[in-house]
Amino acid sequence: MSDRLTPPLTAARLVVSRDLLLAFRRPEQLVHPLAFFVMVTTLFPLSVSPERAQLRAIAPGVLWVAALLAALLALDFLFRDDAQDGTLEQYALSGQSLTWLLLGKTAAHWLLTGLPLSLMAPLMGYTLGVPMSAGAGIMVTVALGSLALSFIGSIGAALTLGVRRGGVLLSILILPLAVPILIFGSRATELAIRGETYLAPMELLASVVVLSFTLAPLAAAAAVRISLE
């Protein structure tokens, strides 16, 4: 019987590649949040005003609220399937650190939801009258914001595993924690649209990412262990 164990980083990488493979086998997980994001942002020109100047003024808020809600919608998928088919149980009993494995899961989740959202955001900004020159800024800030939300959201997703239809509860738990992301993110986007430097709010956003990246997987692992009882 072999004593050789899979190193923790390899195990985390296996989790990432497994989740990516699963998402490509079943792409609705990838498509739903994106479609939601696109639809919500296109509702604004229809409902507020097609006036370019006015749309541009509300663009940062619209983009961020829509991106946040789309990312939140996707969070419900994060652990639910794995909890149902016993995969989380096996993760917890694998002898590997559950924190590392959940870090891998959350990273994969961001690659599948946050990254596509941030790639789509400049395009949706453009439909709201935002110049393409602000595209890079929007992309980076949405990428950072969705990354922080994925990590913070992993705690909520783990805590609501035992709850039937936990989606609404998850939103109620996570949205207040997402307020700093929304404030810094929309501020950075606003500055980017005006063509000014958006470094300060972006750095604050990055600090939220670092904070959530370091603490959230620990909390999520503890919550998952409780949910397995």
Partner 1 sequence: MSASLLRAENLHLWRAERHVLKGVDLRVRGGELLQLTGANGAGKTTLLRALAGLNHLEAGRVFWNDQDVREDRAGFHAALVYLGHEPPLKSDLTGIENLKYWTGMRRPLTDSAIAEALHATGAAGFGTRPVRTLSAGQRRRVALAGLVLAAVPLWLLDEPTTNLDTEGQQLIERLVATHLQDGGLAIAAVHHRLAIDPSRLRELNLFA
DSSP 26: S
222 counts as binding partner 1 under rule CB under 8 A: no
Q: Which two tokens stand for residue 21?
A: 């493979």
Question: Which residue type occupies 81?
Answer: D
- Does position 83 interact with partner 1 (CB under 8 A)? The reply is no
Q: At what angle do helices 179-193 and 199-227 cross, to 10 degrees?
A: 150
Contact with partner 1 (CB under 8 A): which of 38, 173, 204, 228? 228
Kindly state whether residue 168 participates in binding partner 1, applying the rule CB under 8 A: no
Nearer to partner 1, 18 or 56 (CB): 18
Contact residue for partner 1 among 39, 93, 132, 172 (CB under 8 A): 93
Binding of residue 5 to partner 1 (CB under 8 A): yes
Of 32 and 56, nearer to partner 1 (C-beta) is 32
Q: Is 197 in the site for partner 1 (CB under 8 A)?
A: no
> Helices (H), strands (E): how many in the chain?
11, 0
CB nearer to partner 1: give 113 or 141: 113
Length of the chain: 229
119 near partner 1, judged by CB under 8 A: no
Contact between 31 and partner 1 by CB under 8 A: the answer reads no
Nearer to partner 1, 51 or 85 (CB): 85
Spatial separation of the C-alpha atoms in residues 222 and 218, rounded to whole Å: 6
CA dihedral for 112, 145, 126, 200, sign (positive or negative): negative
Residue 177: CB atoms within 10 Å: 17
| Cα of 209 vs its chain's centroid, Å | 11
For partner 1, the binding residues (CB under 8 A) are 1-2, 4-6, 10-11, 14-15, 17-18, 21-22, 25-26, 85-87, 89-97, 101, 228-229
